[in-house]
């Protein structure tokens, strides 16, 4: 029974809880039981929240009992631990915030709670969301539920693993350069990054403010749409949140792609990724066509410069955003004789190597004499990235490409920083342009030397504010192909 509940989609749970066929308490208890059963192998959570989940579930049951209908009634939710939730430890996977308890709740999280979601835990991430494997977490190891020897992806690796391992029905992640889409692809999930500004960033601990965006990781497109619908929209607490009504998406899901033009990016040649992977994407593009879409060859001439652009802009913003972790008001402090030494020792002890690298490169890029050569030039390149997409979307409604260049890799496989950065090659251009994009399961490959088939993700991308079409099309593709259900996670094998 428990297994059955945890494997249900959010849409099914909400429907049953609203109908009185299932209590939110039952849904929460089954997820908590699953956490207790698999967490020692998966490690999705930094802080499971059993007591809070039960309290929230009781409130949902009371509200439903009083006649309310909640779009996410009883839907268990994992929250990436860079989002504030009052009274819970909010660590960013960093030693510098290891003991910090948030005194307020992020807008996106609050909206989901208000919609009936039940938070079962705060999930692991690469420290301050900087990474693509979750290996940069200073506070825990998260494993890929489909192969426990492999990474779940990152930085929203804990969120992805939790949903893939049925520890939560849905999860929130944050995506700066691919941190929702890549772990989504690695863990056989929908990983959806909305248009920049669609979801409030208030309470999301910033990595790179002009790129960060909260989005869902779910097992179905419909669930992603439900979560998105519940949290999208203007927030007066976030100046960059878009002040226009977000289209509802969950009731606009498509069954076919007929009449749609889908662009295939000339610069993203999947033959370079190896025969197995090439075949997966080739097949995916054909499936899109079979569903009625017209495929168009489109060009993103500056896509190859995306990584360089991103690795100036994101670190520059991060170097400033992370200055506040200084040992004065909260978080770790390493005592020293004077305040300068206190800063330096605290930050040396509190940040891991990847965070330090990015702070250093960002500080350098903004420093006197280099600002124009690096930061301003990157901002100009960012303009070109956005123009590339504008031009491409003159010829198509959506763009399809890989979400990642490989399936999930083994731990410690990417020893030099740059090879890890390359994991975001396909996701960064959309981030630079602020576009909505998602990854949807599109097939399985058994990596060289691997024993288990691992999921691959197809990335779909829409013009700005195109969430409705994006999710609609992804739903048609998902329903027709059913790739996600072809294999079960290793962790749920008996």
Please list every residue from 386 through 415 that binds other proteins, using CB under 8 A. 386
Query: Using the rule CB under 8 A, is 381 a contact of other proteins?
Result: yes
Separation between Cα atoms, residue 117 and residue 14, nearest integer Å: 9
CB 302 within 8 A of CB 197: no
The contact mask relative to other proteins for 143-182 (x = CB under 8 A, - = no) is ----------------------------------------
Footprint (CB under 8 A) of other proteins, residues 81-120:
82-84, 90, 92, 97, 99-104, 106
Query: Using the rule CB under 8 A, is 302 a contact of other proteins?
Result: yes
Separation between Cα atoms, residue 39 and residue 133, nearest integer Å: 18
Q: Which of 228, 375, 425, 426 binds other proteins (CB under 8 A)?
A: 375
Q: Which of 40, 245, 272, 368 binds other proteins (CB under 8 A)?
A: 368
Footprint (CB under 8 A) of other proteins, residues 241-260:
242-243
Nearer to other proteins, 84 or 476 (CB): 84
Q: List the catalytic residue out of 30, 137, 179, 439.
A: 179
Query: In the complex, what is the shortest distance from the CB of residue 288 to other proteins, in angstroms, rounded to a whole number?
Result: 27
Residue 358: partners with Cβ closer than 8 Å, 6 or more residues away: 130, 314, 315, 318, 319
Task: Please confirm whether the linkage preceding 155 is cis (ω < 30° from 0).
Answer: yes
Footprint (CB under 8 A) of other proteins, residues 189-218:
196-197, 201-206, 208-210
Query: In the complex, what is the shortest distance from the CB of residue 155 to other proteins, in angstroms, rounded to a whole number?
Result: 16
Q: Which of 219, 187, 183 is nearest to 9 (CA)?
A: 219
Q: How far, in whole angstroms, is CA 173 from its chain's centroid?
A: 4
Query: Using the rule CB under 8 A, is 383 a contact of other proteins?
Result: yes
Query: In the complex, what is the shortest distance from the CB of residue 421 to other proteins, in angstroms, rounded to a whole number?
Result: 8
Query: Could you give the 3-state DSSP secondary structure of residue 131?
Result: coil
Query: Using the rule CB under 8 A, is 426 a contact of other proteins?
Result: no
Q: Can you state the angle between helices 10-18 and 24-42, rounded to 10 degrees?
A: 150
Query: For this structure, is 479 an active site residue?
Result: no
Nearer to other proteins, 135 or 326 (CB): 326
Query: In the complex, what is the shortest distance from the CB of residue 298 to other proteins, in angstroms, rounded to a whole number?
Result: 19
Query: For this structure, is 356 an active site residue?
Result: no
Query: Using the rule CB under 8 A, is 345 a contact of other proteins?
Result: yes
Residue 113: partners with Cβ closer than 8 Å, 6 or more residues away: 56, 105, 119
Separation between Cα atoms, residue 489 and residue 165, nearest integer Å: 7
Query: For this structure, is 155 an active site residue?
Result: yes
Residue 329: partners with Cβ closer than 8 Å, 6 or more residues away: none
Separation between Cα atoms, residue 488 and residue 279, nearest integer Å: 22
């Amino acid at each position: 029974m428990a297994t059955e509940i945890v494997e249900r989609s959010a849409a099914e749970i909400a429907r049953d809880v609203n109908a009185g066929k299932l209590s939110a308490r039952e849904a929460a208890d089954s997820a908590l039981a699953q956490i207790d059963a698999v967490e020692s192998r998966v490690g999705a959570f930094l802080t499971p929240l059993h007591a809070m989940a039960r309290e929230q579930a009781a409130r949902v049951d009371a509200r439903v009992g009083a006649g309310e209908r909640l779009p996410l009634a009883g839907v268990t939710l994992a929250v990436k631990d860079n989002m504030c939730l009052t009274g819970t430890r909010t660590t960013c996977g960093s030693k510098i915030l290891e003991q910090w308890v948030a005194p307020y709740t992020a807008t996106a999280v609050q909206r989901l709670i208000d919609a009936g979601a039940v938070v079962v835990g705060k999930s692991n991430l690469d420290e301050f969301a900087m990474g693509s494997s979750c290996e940069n977490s200073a506070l825990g190891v998260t494993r890929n539920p489909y192969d426990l020897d492999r990474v779940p992806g990152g930085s929203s690796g804990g969120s992805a693993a939790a949903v893939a391992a049925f520890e939560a029905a849905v999860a929130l992640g944050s995506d700066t350069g691919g941190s929702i889409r890549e772990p989504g692809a690695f863990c056989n999930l929908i990983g959806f990054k909305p248009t920049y500004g669609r979801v409030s960033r208030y309470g999301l601990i910033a990595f790179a403010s002009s790129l960060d965006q909260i989005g869902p990781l779910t097992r179905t497109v419909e669930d992603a749409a439900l979560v998105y619908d519940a949290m999208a929209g203007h927030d007066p607490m976030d100046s960059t949140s878009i002040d226009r009504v977000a289209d509802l998406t969950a009731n606009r899901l498509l069954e076919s792609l007929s009449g749609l033009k889908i662009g295939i990016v000339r610069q993203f040649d999947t033959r370079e990724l190896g025969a197995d992977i090439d075949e997966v994407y080739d097949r995916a593009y054909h499936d899109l066509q079979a569903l009625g879409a017209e495929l168009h060859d489109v060009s993103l001439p500056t896509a190859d410069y995306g990584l360089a652009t991103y690795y100036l802009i994101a670190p520059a913003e991060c170097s400033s955003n992370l200055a506040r972790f200084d040992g004065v008001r909260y978080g770790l402090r390493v005592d020293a004789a004077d305040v300068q030494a206190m800063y330096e020792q605290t930050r040396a002890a509190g940040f891991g190597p990847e965070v330090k690298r990015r702070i250093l490169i960002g500080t350098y890029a903004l420093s006197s004499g280099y600002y124009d050569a690096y930061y301003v030039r990157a901002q100009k390149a960012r303009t070109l990235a956005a123009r590339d997409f504008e031009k491409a979307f003159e010829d198509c409604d959506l763009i399809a490409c890989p979400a990642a260049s490989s399936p999930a890799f083994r731990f410690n496989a990417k020893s030099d920083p740059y090879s890890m950065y390359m994991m975001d090659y396909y996701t960064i251009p959309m981030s630079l342009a602020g576009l909505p994009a998602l990854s949807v399961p599109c097939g399985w490959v058994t990596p060289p030397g691997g024993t288990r088939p691992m999921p691959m993700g197809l990335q779909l991308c829409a013009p700005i504010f195109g969430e409705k079409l994006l999710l609609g099309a992804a739903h048609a593709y998902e329903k027709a192909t059913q790739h996600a259900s072809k294999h079960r996670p290793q962790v749920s094998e008996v």
